[in-house]
Amino acid sequence: MMTIVCHGDSLTEGSDLNKNYTWPRLRQSLYQDGRAEFAEASESLHPQAKGLAALAYMQGIRGQVESARLSALMRDLEIPLIPVLVSMEQAGIGVDLNAFSAFLDDVSAQLDELTRSIIAHAGEPFNIRSSQQLAAILFDKLDIKEGGKTATGQRSTANQVLEGIRGRHPIVEDILEYRMLEKLRSTYLEPLPKLVDEGSRLHTHFNQLATTTGRLSSSRPNLQNIPIRGKYGPRMRACFTAGPGNLLAAADYSQIELRVLAHFSKDPALLDAFRNDEDIHTRTAALLTDKPSRDVQPDERRNAKTINFGLIYGMGPQKLARELDITVNQAKEFTERYFEKLTTLKAYYDTIVKDAESNGFVTTLAGRHRLLPELHSRNNQMASQAKRQAVNTVIQGSAADIIKMAMVAAHKDKELAALGARVILQVHDELIVEAPEASISAAGERLKAIMQTTADLDVPLKVDLGIGKNWADAH
DNA sequence: CGAAGACCT
DNA sequence: CAGCCAGGTCTTCGA
């Protein structure tokens, strides 16, 4: 079920470790992320055996693990997580095939109509899915002024560009609509129903070794990128259901990354906001504008949200300027003002980078490491990117640690088991649990309690809970 | 197989 | 003067 890929190198069944993956490279990988040792173990075995096999495999390389000081992370988090993932993969999530089918019919009909309309506007048939052909139609034939270039210098036809030239020609609107519907058809509506089992359930593969930060990834099919926004997001999510007699509960960590940031940085403003359960974006806006929270305007809150979100990624003034539609200089002032108000936060950022530079790696809450050799690059752009990665990895990776701890705790929880509940999906800051109708409420509340108490931070962890027959209703 | 694009947190 | 924020998966095109 689970193909393990380690930093791009596939470990195939029966492969000789020394042949396909040299020891220095493995040690490096272990040291970096502490998750490589069950790669070999998981691969060739039935999923049920994955956990045990990983442990057995562990024995052979314990020395390496301990020398990397990663045994606790492995022993207490990653290895216990394996049977949890196996259970989630085997459980799968219910799919409403009739809803899928009706949805596909609607989308196909609209795509046919849009294709006719677009070809008519263009005056000649062409492949709408080809960005090259589309650019030729838009920018040469129809003489619309181009809106931007791709990384390789081509004239971009990306959504963001098309949004900007929306009013100039009716074809643009049709193409945006076409793109959205074509994505739904080709990625979700057509492939997914082919993958369901006899019980109409869909089983993903949770990959424990795919990311550099410690997050999981999901593939074949990816159930971590099911549409939720846009005109058809809710309808898409409503196609994912609980089994007969069951309901779903969705438990979302609220602002977990900013809470992690508050915990590590000890910034008084952030700590205070979360301890008083205030709206963090409104609070930031109030700080920036020197107003009481109740006087913050919607656009001021939106700007604060962008900056709060952006600082998890180490957003620069250019990007901020574009996001907020202000000049770069204004953005610089905005950022400066932000860090003047949150001086402890600024100091913490500097500390992460300084420690990373001297250690060569950053460390997350659970003791996961990420090596960042590019921090010492003479290339400024590379070094800057590594700095952003350092900050982001500590935050994103620690949030990943926390939800993994919650998953392990939930899996062994007697109360959830007694309620007939099982966790079936994880989407980075969200867990989906399925249980019989009569016990779903208790199961949701129990899961919520586990998620809120599994890690002890300097700020409370907040979890939003929703219950419903399908994934849309559970939000 | 890389580029472009679109979906997610 | 340009510089465009972190982590993923999947589909399609075109060489």
With distances taken from each CA to the C1' atom of nucleotide C2, the closest residue turns out to be: A318
- For chain A, domains (ranges, CATH) are 97-194 (1.20.1060.10), 234-256+403-468 (3.30.70.370), 258-400 (1.10.150.20)
Q: Which residue has better confidence, A259 or A80? A: A259
In this complex, the nucleotide whose C1' atom is nearest to the CA atom of residue A222 is: C9
Q: How far apart are the C-alpha atoms of A370 and A360, rounded to whole Å?
A: 8
Percent of chain A with pLDDT over 70: 85
In this complex, the nucleotide whose C1' atom is nearest to the CA atom of residue A135 is: B4
- A254, A293, A292: which is closest to A463 by C-alpha? A254
Task: Reply yes or no on whether the pLDDT at A302 is more than 50.
Answer: yes
Give the pLDDT score at A38.
Answer: 41
Give the pLDDT score at A315.
Answer: 74
Q: Is the peptide bond before A268 cis (omega within 30 degrees of 0)?
A: no
Pairing mode of beta strands A240-241, A93-95: antiparallel
Give the pLDDT score at A137.
Answer: 97
Percent of chain A with pLDDT over 90: 69
A218 CB less than 7 Å from any atom of strand B: no
Give the pLDDT score at A392.
Answer: 96
A397 CB less than 7 Å from any atom of strand C: no
Kindly report, residue by residue over A132-145, the tens digit of the pLDDT. 999 999 999 999 99
Length A349 CA → C6 C1' (Å): 15
In this complex, the nucleotide whose C1' atom is nearest to the CA atom of residue A306 is: C5
In this complex, the nucleotide whose C1' atom is nearest to the CA atom of residue A328 is: C3
Name the H helices within A198-243.
Answer: 233-237
In this complex, the nucleotide whose C1' atom is nearest to the CA atom of residue A319 is: C4
Q: Which whole number is the average pLDDT over A384-406? A: 96
Length A290 CA → B9 C1' (Å): 31
A129 CB less than 7 Å from any atom of strand C: yes
- Angstrom CA distances, A176 to A119, A184, A202, stand at 14, 13, 30
Instruction: Give bridge partners of residue A207 from the DSSP assignment.
Output: A217
- The number of beta carbons lying within 10 Å of the beta carbon of residue A465 is 16
In this complex, the nucleotide whose C1' atom is nearest to the CA atom of residue A207 is: C8
Kindly report, residue by residue over A259-294, the tens digit of the pLDDT. 999 999 999 999 999 999 999 999 999 999 999 999
Give the pLDDT score at A319.
Answer: 77
Give the pLDDT score at A57.
Answer: 47
**Covered bases, chain C (protein CB within 7 Å):** 3-14
Task: Reply yes or no on whether the pLDDT at A232 is more than 70.
Answer: yes
Give the SS3 label for residue A367: coil
Q: How far apart are the C-alpha atoms of A24 and A209, rounded to whole Å?
A: 18
With distances taken from each CA to the C1' atom of nucleotide C4, the closest residue turns out to be: A319
Q: Which whole number is the average pLDDT over A415-431? A: 98
For the ranges A80-94, A208-222, A276-290, the one whose mean pLDDT is highest: A276-290
Structure-token pair, residue A304: 């604060």
Length A224 CA → C9 C1' (Å): 9
Residue A325 contacts by C-beta under 8 Å, 6 or more apart in sequence? none
A427 CB less than 7 Å from any atom of strand B: yes
Structure-token pair, residue A145: 């002024």
In this complex, the nucleotide whose C1' atom is nearest to the CA atom of residue A131 is: B4
A224 CB less than 7 Å from any atom of strand B: yes
H or E stretch including A417?
Answer: helix A414-418
- Mean pLDDT in chain A? 86
Length A130 CA → C14 C1' (Å): 9
Give the pLDDT score at A107.
Answer: 98
Length A158 CA → B9 C1' (Å): 21
Of A96-100, A243-247, A279-283, A313-317, which gets the smallest average pLDDT? A313-317
Q: Which whole number is the average pLDDT over A155-176? A: 95
Give the pLDDT score at A86.
Answer: 84
- A352, A373, A346, A376: which is closest to A364 by C-alpha? A352
Give the pLDDT score at A71.
Answer: 67
A319 CB less than 7 Å from any atom of strand C: yes
In this complex, the nucleotide whose C1' atom is nearest to the CA atom of residue A397 is: C7
Give the pLDDT score at A59.
Answer: 45
Burial class of residue A58 (count of CB atoms within 10 Å of its CB; 0-12, 13-18, 19+): middle
Give the pLDDT score at A80.
Answer: 84
Task: Reply yes or no on whether the pLDDT at A10 is more than 60.
Answer: no
Give the pLDDT score at A32.
Answer: 39
Of A2-11, A120-129, A259-268, which gets the smallest average pLDDT? A2-11
Give the SS3 label for residue A89: helix
Give the pLDDT score at A68.
Answer: 52
In this structure, are residues A396 and A428 in contact, taking their beta carbons and an 8 Å threshold? no
A28 CB less than 7 Å from any atom of strand C: no
A302 CB less than 7 Å from any atom of strand C: no
Q: How far apart are the C-alpha atoms of A446 and A461, rounded to whole Å?
A: 15
A8 CB less than 7 Å from any atom of strand B: no
Kindly report, residue by residue over A14-46, the tens digit of the pLDDT. 222 222 222 333 333 333 333 444 444 344 344
Q: How far apart are the first and last CA of chain A?
A: 29
**Covered bases, chain B (protein CB within 7 Å):** 3-9
Give the SS3 label for residue A470: strand
